[in-house]
Amino acid sequence: QKEVEQNSGPLSVPEGAIASLNCTYSDRGSQSFFWYRQYSGKSPELIMFIYSNGDKEDGRFTAQLNKASQYVSLLIRDSQPSDSATYLCAVSDSGTYKYIFGTGTRLKVLA
């Protein structure tokens, strides 16, 4: 059974700080990794994806991937109260199309 695990939180950080969200996955064959943000009662919104080891930056967001450790993370710099949401990690194998989602980490950015 392929699994994706996230700490459910809540993770509380002060405004302006760096929020660090983590995700581990069980399937070594996984190739693509996605971070989604979901506000309460809303649909998931794609933030970014990563498929190569290392860091990928997009604005205030940085995704980090370590395939050897089966670990992917999302850093949010200069956190804002509007970043308060649940962050979902999703993993996809390149040979398939299915996303396996973690249960999400709830982030609270305190003003």
Instruction: List the interface residues with another protein, window 78-107 (CB under 8 A).
Output: 88, 90, 92, 94-104
Q: Give CA separation, 26 vs 2, 65, 77, 105, 107, in Å.
A: 6, 14, 28, 18, 24
Instruction: List the interface residues with another protein, window 33-62 (CB under 8 A).
Output: 34, 36, 42-46, 49, 51
* Nearer residue to another protein within complex by CB, 80 or 94: 94
* Distance separating alpha carbons of residues 49 and 51, to the nearest angstrom: 7
User: At 27, is the secondary structure helix, strand, or coil?
Assistant: coil
Residues that bind another protein (CB under 8 A): 32, 34, 36, 42-46, 49, 51, 88, 90, 92, 94-104
